[in-house]
Amino acid sequence: MNYLTGKPGWLLLFVLGLAFPFLAKNDYHLTVMSTAYIFALATVGLNLITGYTGQFNLAHAGFMAVGAYTVGILTVDYQVSFWIAFALSGVVAALLGFFIGLVSLRLKGHYFSIFTLCVGYIMFLVIEKWESLTHGTVGIIGIPAPTAIGPISFDSPRSLYYLVFFFLVLGVWVMHRIVNSLLGRTFVAIRNSDDLAESMGIPLMRNKLLAFMLSVFYAGMAGGLYAGFVRFLGPGLAGVEHTFDMTMYMLVGGLGTLLGPLLGALSVPWLTQYLQFLQEYRFIVFGPILVLLVIFVPHGIVGTYMGWRARRAANAVATTAAGQPAAAAKEQTHA
């Protein structure tokens, strides 16, 4: 039984998340954590297309901005209620993802990444230049906070924290269902070898497109939450730096694991908080850390931990095999 990556570990995280507002010293910490949750949700989505399906999408922050601007424009300029706009944020991102995916997913490997990098730039530039729709560089100011549902209102940092936490838990749970289903295995098959997957009868394009749309749906939802939480939007949200940030979270935690991106997205922002005195120079420290991680811990924290577990289990099997050949044969069928 794998305690840290199995059910007890998840339960512990959930309880910690529930208890956090009572442990936090001030509202500022709550805000930092809530923002981290929003980016964690987007990172969990990015992990589906990059970690599980093997296509490195560099336009992810662009899709997040699309979701955020959906909420911003609808609520501020068209007085639509927050929840309707929020429900649309993921849908709009996924719809856009359908068309972009249709074109971009025909490309493989680096070509896909570079293509999406360009798509991300187009999104950023369109948001910045299309002033009549997006308010240009001024940004959208005064986005209303999420309206109350029945007796629950979202005007305090603590209630907002729980709102964001709820969607993160929901998002991770749905992602857990996806990656452990046949669909998730299909995605992994495509990542491991798309030729092999295709020869086994997996329709490549349809599955890649589905993974892409699901992934950007998460980005859109995260963007919608961001709009309702921060209540101010600028074109900078679409910048490729945010995609780089999310990639870093994913890599620190462990690519292609469920827990990894979550851990990365929650721990790195806190590290940044403690490196605050470095301010904009923090990348002088972070850049080399990223390089060292890629070289020495290529599978991230969770990936390395799971690899270590697997090796230990294999060794245990091997030692029993030396002593009791019959029992070992039985063990190995399980392993």
**Residue 52, CB-side half-sphere exposure with 13 Å CA sphere:** 31
Cα separation of 104 and 207, whole Å? 14
The piece of 140-148, 178-186, 220-228, 246-254 that touches other proteins (CB under 8 A) is 246-254
Nearer to other proteins, 8 or 287 (CB): 287
Cα separation of 133 and 175, whole Å? 33
Q: C-beta of 109: minimal distance to other proteins in Å?
A: 6
Cα separation of 75 and 202, whole Å? 42
Cα separation of 272 and 275, whole Å? 5
Distance of CA 70 to the CA centre of its chain: 19
Q: C-beta of 290: minimal distance to other proteins in Å?
A: 4
Cα separation of 118 and 240, whole Å? 10
Residue indicated by tokens 């649309």: 88
Binding footprint of other proteins, residue count (CB under 8 A) = 40
Residues in 60-119 at the binding interface with other proteins, rule: CB under 8 A: 103, 106-111, 113-115, 117-119
Nearer to other proteins, 22 or 99 (CB): 99
Report DSSP state, residue 54: -
3-state helix, strand, coil in the chain (%, to 5): 80, 0, 20
**DSSP character string of 168-193:** HHHHHHHHHHHHTSHHHHHHHHHHH-
Please report whether residue 307 would count as binding other proteins according to CB under 8 A: no
Residues in 111-170 at the binding interface with other proteins, rule: CB under 8 A: 111, 113-115, 117-119, 121-122, 125-126, 129
Nearer to other proteins, 48 or 227 (CB): 48
Nearer to other proteins, 78 or 277 (CB): 277
Residues in 5-34 at the binding interface with other proteins, rule: CB under 8 A: none
Q: Binding string, 278-297, against other proteins, x = CB under 8 A? A: --xxxxx-xxxxxx--xx--
Nearer to other proteins, 109 or 203 (CB): 109
**Contact set with other proteins (CB under 8 A):** 50, 56, 103, 106-111, 113-115, 117-119, 121-122, 125-126, 129, 240, 244, 247-248, 251, 255, 280-284, 286-291, 294-295, 298
